[in-house]
Amino acid sequence: MEYRERILRFIEEIKTSCLPSVSMDFVVFGFHEGQLKVLLLKWQGVDTWMLPGGRVRMDENMEDAAYRSLRERTGLAEVFLQQFHTFGNVIRNTYYAMEETRTKLGFSAEDFEGLPHRDISVGFYALVEYTKVNPTPGLELALDPFTEQIQWCNVEEVPQLLFDHNEMIQVALKTLRRQLSYQPIGYTLLPDQFTMPQLQQLYETILGQRLDRRNFQKRMLSYGILERGEKFQNGGAYKAPYLYRFDREKYQQALAEERLLVV
């Protein structure tokens, strides 16, 4: 199918099969080499980054739509996904790049007619295991003919984004910090097995503050949600740390009872 044709079909699909004036935006967090990362994408013809988004089909639950969108982007079926805020300001769309994009791609105003000019956007944050993610540009899947590039970016180094997406990331981060004690942050951001220092680094990165190594370990073990495994030697000139994995059942139970307060 030709490129122009694909875009026209895409627009037609949005107009006919998706809820008008409602969109979703995703703040996808990953953790790699001691850094908290977020997934960003770029539209073809626009040189500013933005968050991945999605739309809700007419007969689709919003939560299902969110999982679907994220699966299409990351290839992950099992992720932690949660709405954190709904953004409804008119000025959200002040820096809308749709017009710019349209012009650059050589489409007429009529081609894009009927698309909503203003959206309410439901913000979701997702916690995914960095190594398992396969960022997929929409171009390859025909799911979004605008998306050219998609890649991870350190949370501290996020550039100026389109729309209110910078604010979205900040609100998502704030929510993440607040929910650290009653959401399964650990086993959705870390690989199956991990060391205590890794776990601590994750918490420190999210909270943005140092924690006492000894008290942290004591506390984590006291929750009774960790299983200790073998020792792990990665070649450093130091004592080998133990590998741990989460006891999912006990973790869930502790979360339900909100016993995992950290700070």
CB of 195 to a copy of itself, least distance (A): 31
CB of 56 to a copy of itself, least distance (A): 7
Alpha carbons 213 and 217: distance in angstroms, whole number? 6
CB of 24 to DNA, least distance (A): 36
**Interacting partner of 118 out of DNA, a copy of itself, none (Cβ under 5 to 8 A depending on kind):** a copy of itself
Which chain residues interact with a copy of itself by CB under 8 A? 19-22, 56, 58-63, 65, 83, 85-91, 118, 120, 122
Which chain residues interact with DNA by CB under 7 A? 195-197, 212-215, 217-219, 221, 231, 233, 235-242, 261, 263
CB nearer DNA, residue 94 or residue 214: 214
**Interacting partner of 49 out of a copy of itself, DNA, none (Cβ under 5 to 8 A depending on kind):** none
CB of 244 to DNA, least distance (A): 8
Quick one: DSSP state of residue 158?
A: -
Could you tell me which of 31, 71, 39, 42 has the C-alpha nearest to residue 54?
Answer: 71
Residue keyed to tokens 């984590």: 220
Tokens of 207: 């909270």
CB nearer DNA, residue 114 or residue 191: 191
Could you tell me which of 102, 98, 101, 95 has the C-alpha nearest to residue 167?
Answer: 95
Alpha carbons 50 and 26: distance in angstroms, whole number? 10
CB nearer a copy of itself, residue 19 or residue 36: 19
CB of 31 to a copy of itself, least distance (A): 25
CB nearer DNA, residue 135 or residue 197: 197
Q: Please count the other Cβ atoms lying within 10 Å of the Cβ belonging to residue 250.
A: 14
CB nearer DNA, residue 166 or residue 217: 217
Amino acid in the structure at residue 58? M
**Interacting partner of 213 out of a copy of itself, DNA, none (Cβ under 5 to 8 A depending on kind):** DNA
Report yes or no: 126 and 27 within 8 Å, Cβ to Cβ. yes
Contacts of 110 (CB under 8 A, 6+ apart): none
Alpha carbons 56 and 135: distance in angstroms, whole number? 21
